[in-house]
Structure 1
Amino acid sequence: MSPGIIILQVSAFIQQLGRGGRLRRKDFQGDADCEWATFGMDNRRQVIPRAVTWALPPTSSVKLNTDASVTEGLATGGGLVRTSDGDLVFAFYKEFGECDVLTAEALALLEGLRLCYARHIMHFVAEVDSSVLVRMVSSCGPARWPLVNTLRHIQWLSGQMGVSVAHIYREANTVADALACSRPQQDGVFTVRAELPRKARSALQLDRLSVPSIRLGRVRH
């Protein structure tokens, strides 16, 4: 069965769940910009699925991916650095206490940059799945307190390290998402693939093989 047919079948199934009331907004709490959150809940919109993949960084370069999650008031973040072959350089998990999703996304990015800076990893692309955060980092305009200090630290480190911050679709950021949601017993940095949570290990291998994920785009009729 071709990937296109599989995508269409999965999309139809999810749409039926949404129309039947089996998908609720609260099921996506902490992931406000997730495309799945509103899928199948508005019959006036046409849903167009497409395949998205995580792209390898250029040869002799690396890429940082980070993500965050807020569940029951607890904000957590995670991320990883990979080589141009998709191999793990290091990964991390960290808890941030009580804060909103955007703040947690910014703190996860900052933590990833700090860890890279400490290891003298320079001149790379950092990807996050919050387009709002990317715009705020790229802008010199004011931000709401207390996020302003975190943004200033991100901007300073990015400038010192020659890092550009870019947006990636959530569905292509699955390893960082798995790390952010892993909830181990304590914060940590992992340098060996076997140390990663099982879900993160699986997602890492799928990215190395360029296996696509399904992204659902919505278009009004």
Structure 2
Amino acid sequence: MNFLIISTTLKNIFVVLKDEKNNIYTRTLTENKSGNYLANAIKEVVEESKTNIKNIDEFGIDIGPGSFTGIRVAISTLQGLLIDNPEKEVYTFFSSDVLYRSAVNNNPDLKKNKLAVLKRARENAAYASIYENGKRIFGPQMVFEEFLRDSLNNCILINEEAEYFKNKYKLENEVFYSNIDEKSLIEEVIKGKRVKVKNLKPLYLQKPLAVENLEKEKTK
């Protein structure tokens, strides 16, 4: 089975193709505006694997949390690739789950701990997911200072973006860094929800600032 995976909300953009012999071909995009080169990266891994898009059986796509623009670029690209097959079902997954899985796969002792993945949403807000005993028990959800101070006391924080919130709010949590690996990425993708490609939507967790300000006024 040939399997193509696209992720645009991690630190780098990943395009991963696993062929029917379990060979893995990867492109990692790190440049600014690297989303502009997504289609070319897909073309490169497909050519390197000596297959073509029509011979790819399964697709996986990262729907967040993270850059709304990056997610829309990925969705548009995949819908373009499958324009003749809009009913095709593809796997969707959360980038925070990939960060967690990479951490515990590479460091099994971490699984005994309560872990939280933090991704920066705004200067004062994070996308948070919490994991315990190998399962996600909270999120992804956008959270603010009060949550970060009061609800993460027993968590080891995963992801280098967590360092920003640790410093900003003087949190005492340990921060653990982990590289993304293709095995962890593939593991999470095949656990994801399947959606028709024509119905793909980004995970959108942020309320418009005007709505947030109105809600704050009502609670005063």
TM-score, with structure 2 as normaliser: 0.33
Higher relative contact order (CA 8 A, sep 6+): 1
